[in-house]
């Protein structure tokens, strides 16, 4: 079991931790904003992780026990926070989140039964976080349009301004072999993802990553929408993808990390105002 120094605190004091507001960086900034202490950065990530689950619940990205969003711990950087099995996305609170080590141990809360850890979440996300030290968060679920598009075994075309965010920046993983329960499969997914921001898991669904929880969650929403748009467009008739140079230019405008933080903010404002219990 991972040794935890007695002085380390994984939760804010008091029954209702205060909401840490987002300070949006100016457009053109190159760095993701960080909180002044590790404790505040941890709480910042956990609050946005809980909000991300609430948003997934609102969008219907829940299919039984399938789906997970993870956030790397800012201090124990080979550990990540994830939801417990058996709690609907729409009810996830900060206090529900579990800190999991790279070995699959539930470090916090220590009394949490091992059966509450989604083994597929560990098998996939532990390997993504190891392979991509730049990644703070990753998001995966079995949302309708993402898994429908995954059945085609293709990358998306740059059909719209929104889908161009993923131009030349998403991958295809073709080796579906059932539920991912072994880290060797997670390693294969991480290898397929490479340095990109998203991967289509053939016959499975979609997965996104980001240097912030906000970017990873927003990218999932955007990728699901892009899958839906292309399915509708192809059902209507021949499509007209934008030229590569235009797609590449547009991707640089709408596909940035900070753009993901900005895009997430309105969703954060709504869900935290309407569902303040997520901070418990």
The whole-angstrom separation of Cα 194 and Cα 171 is: 8
Q: Are 196 and 255 in contact (CB under 8 A)?
A: no
- The SS3 assignment for 167 reads coil
Angle at 233 between CA 231 and CA 238, to 5 degrees: 120
Question: Looking at residue 71, what is its pLDDT?
Answer: 98
Q: Which CATH class is domain 38-279?
A: alpha beta
Q: How far apart are CA 51 and CA 56, in angstroms?
A: 9
* CB-based contacts of 248, cutoff 8 Å, min separation 6: 167, 168
CA distance 72 to 45: 8
Q: Coil, helix or strand for 157?
A: coil
In this prediction the pTM is 0.93
Residue-by-residue DSSP string for 89-138: GGG--GGG-EEE-TTS-EEESTTS-GGGS-HHHHHHHHHHHHH-TT--EE
What per-residue confidence (pLDDT) applies to 5? 42
- In degrees and rounded to multiples of 5, residue 112 shows phi and psi of -65, 130
**pLDDT per 10-residue tile (average), the chain, 280 residues:** 46 62 79 91 98 98 91 98 95 97 94 89 94 98 98 98 98 91 92 98 98 98 99 98 98 95 96 96
Mean residue pLDDT of the chain comes to 92
pLDDT of amino acid 182 = 85
pLDDT at 227: 99
């Amino acid at each position: 079991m991972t040794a935890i120094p007695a002085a380390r605190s994984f939760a804010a004091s008091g029954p209702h931790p205060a909401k840490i507001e987002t300070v949006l960086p100016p457009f053109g900034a190159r760095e993701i904003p960080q909180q002044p202490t590790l404790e505040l950065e941890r709480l910042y990530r956990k609050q946005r992780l809980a909000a991300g689950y609430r948003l997934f619940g609102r969008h219907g990205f829940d299919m039984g026990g399938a789906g997970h969003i993870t956030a790397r711990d800012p201090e124990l950087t080979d550990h990540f926070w994830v939801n417990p099995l058996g709690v609907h996305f729409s009810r996830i609170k900060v206090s529900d989140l579990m800190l999991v080590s790279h070995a699959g141990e539930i470090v916090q809360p220590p009394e949490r039964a091992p059966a509450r850890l989604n083994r597929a979440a560990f098998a996939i996300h532990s390997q993504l976080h190891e392979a991509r030290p730049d990644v703070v968060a990753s998001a995966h679920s079995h949302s309708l349009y993402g898994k429908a598009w995954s059945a085609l075994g293709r990358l998306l075309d740059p059909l719209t301004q929104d889908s161009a965010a993923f131009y030349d920046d998403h991958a295809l993983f073709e080796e579906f072999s059932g539920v991912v329960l072994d880290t060797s499969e997670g390693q294969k997914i991480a290898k397929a993802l490479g340095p990109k921001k998203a991967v289509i898991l053939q016959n499975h669904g979609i997965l996104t990553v980001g240097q912030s929880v906000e970017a990873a969650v927003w990218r999932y929403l955007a990728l699901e929408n892009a899958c839906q748009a292309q399915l509708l467009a192809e059902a209507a008739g021949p499509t007209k993808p934008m030229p590569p140079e235009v797609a590449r230019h547009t991707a640089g405008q709408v596909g940035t990390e900070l753009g993901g933080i900005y895009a997430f903010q309105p969703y954060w404002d709504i869900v935290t105002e309407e569902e303040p219990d997520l901070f418990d």
